[in-house]
Amino acid sequence: MALYQNYAKELLSKFGRLNELIGHAPSIGTFHENIVSNYLKSFLPQRFSVKTGFVYNLSTKSASPQLDIIIIDENVPSAYLFKDGDFVVVSPISVVCAIEIKTNFDGESFKDISTKSDLYRKVNPYPINNFIALCFRAKSKNQETIGGWFSAIEIEDQWLNYPSETTVLDYGFFKASSKVHSSPSGMLRIMCNDDCGVDKEEALLTNFLFSILTFCEQRDGKHNENTIQSVFQGDYDKLFTLKHECYKYGSGKLDLQEQRYTDGRIKYKRSE
C-alpha cells in the first residue's frame, strides 16, 4: 500500500504545481488529462499502452465518443484500426479500460461522463464495466443535488450503462453495483474516513490507480490471492466507508436496502 501511496503523492504534486501556475486557465482540464496520461505510461506494465481516441465496432459500424484516455492491451493483434502517434481508433476487444478526466464534478460534467459511458457501452459488446472517471473538484457535495442529477438523466437504468467508478478527489467516489451485489442496483457512494491516517486525496487517487491495475490484472487472467485487490482489501476497509445510499438513473438517491458478497452472503442489510 505504501508504495502506491507514494505514486499517488507524486501525481498529486504534479497537479499541485500546475494549479499554482495556471489554476484558472480555461484549458487546465487538458493539462490534467496530459499529466494523468503521461504518468500512466510510466506506471503501467509494457503490455498496456496509454492512448487517446475512439473505439470502433466493426460489426455494428459504430464509434464511441472521443475518449480522453484508453488503456490498450498490446497483446491483441487486431487492436489498431487507425494509429497516428497517441491518437488511435481501436477495436473493443483491445480495450482494458477507458478513462474520462474532468476538472470539476458538477451537473454538466456528470451528464457528460454518464452519456459517454452509455455510448461507449453501446460499441463495446463485452459484458464488462470498464469505463471510469476522475474529477478533481466537487462543485456540489450535497447528496440531494447529486441525486437530482441522476434523476434527471435520460439513460436506461442498466448496470453496464453506469461508469464503473467516478472518483472525485476532494469528495469520495461512486462505484457501480449490479443486482448481484446490492438492492437496489446502481451507484454506491463511498467516502474516505476522517480518522484513516492518510491524506484523503492521496487515498482516493491511490484507489483510482488500483482500479486501473485491477482491470489490467483481469485482462491478464489473474483472479487469486495475489491480485492488487486482495492485497489492498485490508487497507481499503480502514480507509473507506460505504454510505447506505444508492443512486439510480431516473430515480435519484435511494436508500440502500442490502449489500451482498459475490457468493450471496449478506454484507449489509437495512434494519426494518
For residues 251-262, give the mean pLDDT: 95
Domain that holds residue 204: 2-269
Query: pLDDT band for position 27 (50/70/90)?
Result: low
Specify the number of domains making up the chain: 1
Q: Cell digits for 154?
A: 435520460
pLDDT for position 12: 85
Question: In this predicted model, what pLDDT tens digit does every residue of 193-206 receive, in sequence order?
Answer: 988 888 999 999 99
Give pLDDT, residue 24: 63
Burial profile 12-39: b = 16 or more Cβ within 10 angstroms, e = fewer: eeebeebbeeeeeeeebbebbbebbbeb
What pLDDT score does 20 carry? 75
Pairing label, strands 48-57, 87-90: parallel
69-89: average pLDDT: 97
Return the H-helix or E-strand segment holding 239: helix 228-239
Q: What is the predicted pLDDT for the residue at 2?
A: 62
pLDDT for position 23? 62
Give the number of residues written for the chain: 272
Backbone dihedral region for residue 99 (phi beyond 0: left; psi -120 to 50: alpha; all else: beta): beta
pLDDT for 224: 62
- Mean pLDDT over residues 103-108, rounded? 95
Share the mean pLDDT of the chain.
91
- What pLDDT is attached to residue 166? 99
Statement: residue 29 has pLDDT above 80: no
Asked if residue 87 has pLDDT above 80, the reply is: yes
Helix axes 200-219, 228-239, angle to 10 degrees: 160
- Local structure of 224: helix, strand or coil: coil
